[in-house]
Amino acid sequence: MTGPTTMKVEDQIPGIQDTPKPTNGDASPVNWESEIQLVSSLAKLQELERKIHELRHVVPSKLLEPLATLSGQSGPSSITYADSPAHLRDGLDQAARSQVAEIDSFKSTWQGPELKPVWDHVESRIKESNGQILQPTGMWERDYDVLLEELLQAEKSKEQERLHEEEEAERTKVQSSEGGWQVVVESFIQRNVPGVRVIKGQGAPSLAIALSKAGIIFHIEGVKENDGPAVAEWHVSSRAPPGRVPTKMENSITECLNSRSRKWDLAFLLDMISSYADLKQTTCVKCNKLTNNSAQLPTIRRAQSTQPSQQEPRVFAFDALHSSCA
Ligand SMILES: [Zn+2]
């Protein structure tokens, strides 16, 4: 019987969550100029109103439901009918308890910290207009939860576009920098990442990375853009010793490496490969286990989203996951 819960804008839009959370009784500064804030508040009120209509059926129909199902004797076959006065009384007790719980939950939502700033705002607006309130038509003209969803979606695509532009700017900067990809390799070698050895290639943009503890060698090859000097994409293959085919685990890692984002970014790829250095000791961030039910190690890597972009050289961190947990 619970409807869709209204989303908290505070949890979804970066920046808004930076405002202090409302503590008991203290009104926190809410930006009432923000359209998304207003729509989110209206969605909460709309949900409350929907709930009021639902609660109108508590007396008598919900409370007497056990009697109705008893007399009707028709309905979904899953309903078990009371076969004795004691069972009927249990049914009525249960109905009363669950309806009281519904009302209590409604009351606590109404009085809760999430709606407090909304009520405060409504009250202050009524005061500002000397008690004159806009007469509602009695109908909601918009579905505010739908509108909120649209606004959040738009906000998200704007954010994605911003990230994309940022990445494009980075790509241009890296590809036009003097020394190109070799500088990236040199700066990586200087970091002396434990368990990771770089084997430089000759001439063509290529190199190999040996992970000594994991016992895997990856071959990296740069694919050039329209025969220009810049490498458009770095491609990874795992190189098994002669006479041995790559294992299922190696293939799974190579697949994950090649499906990464920032395919132009060698520094990103080197950090991603390094995250496999302690493969046999790295637990999954989701289930916190080393091996899953199929005895597989976490072979999936996901870039952590909070990347400090000002750091030079930029170091990327990755979360390890089982393919079954990803
Ligand atoms: Zn897992």
pLDDT of the residue at 17: 41
Q: How far is the CA of 283 from the centre of ligand 1 (A)?
A: 8
CA 188 distance to own-chain centroid: 31
pLDDT of the residue at 1: 40
Same-domain pairing of 77 and 204: no
- 274-305 pLDDT, tens digit per residue, is 999 999 999 999 999 999 999 999 999 999 97
Q: How far is the CA of 297 from the centre of ligand 1 (A)?
A: 8
Same-domain pairing of 127 and 220: no
Q: How far is the CA of 284 from the centre of ligand 1 (A)?
A: 5
Q: Domain containing 192: what range?
A: 177-321
Same-domain pairing of 127 and 190: no
Q: Is residue 163 part of a domain?
A: no
Q: Is residue 164 part of a domain?
A: no
Q: How far is the CA of 320 from the centre of ligand 1 (A)?
A: 8
Same-domain pairing of 276 and 311: yes
Same-domain pairing of 191 and 253: yes
Same-domain pairing of 144 and 221: no
Give the CATH number, domain containing residue 275.
Answer: 3.40.50
Q: Is residue 167 part of a domain?
A: no
Q: Which residues of the chain carry a pLDDT beneath 50?
A: 1-27
And the tokens for 10? 């505070």
Q: Is residue 56 part of a domain?
A: yes
What is the per-residue burial (b if ≥16 Cβ within 10 Å, else e) of 218-241?
A: bbbbbeeeeeeebbeebbbbbeee
Same-domain pairing of 73 and 207: no
- 140-175 pLDDT, tens digit per residue, is 888 999 999 999 999 999 999 999 999 999 888 888
Count structural domains, the chain: 2
Q: How far is the CA of 282 from the centre of ligand 1 (A)?
A: 11
Amino acid at 33: E
User: Are 181 and 40 within 8 A, CB to CB?
Assistant: no
Same-domain pairing of 147 and 197: no
Q: How far is the CA of 299 from the centre of ligand 1 (A)?
A: 10
Q: How far is the CA of 250 from the centre of ligand 1 (A)?
A: 18
Same-domain pairing of 212 and 109: no
Q: Is residue 284 part of a domain?
A: yes
Residue that terminates a domain, selected from 107, 123, 156: 156
Q: How far is the CA of 285 from the centre of ligand 1 (A)?
A: 7
Q: How far is the CA of 113 from the centre of ligand 1 (A)?
A: 36
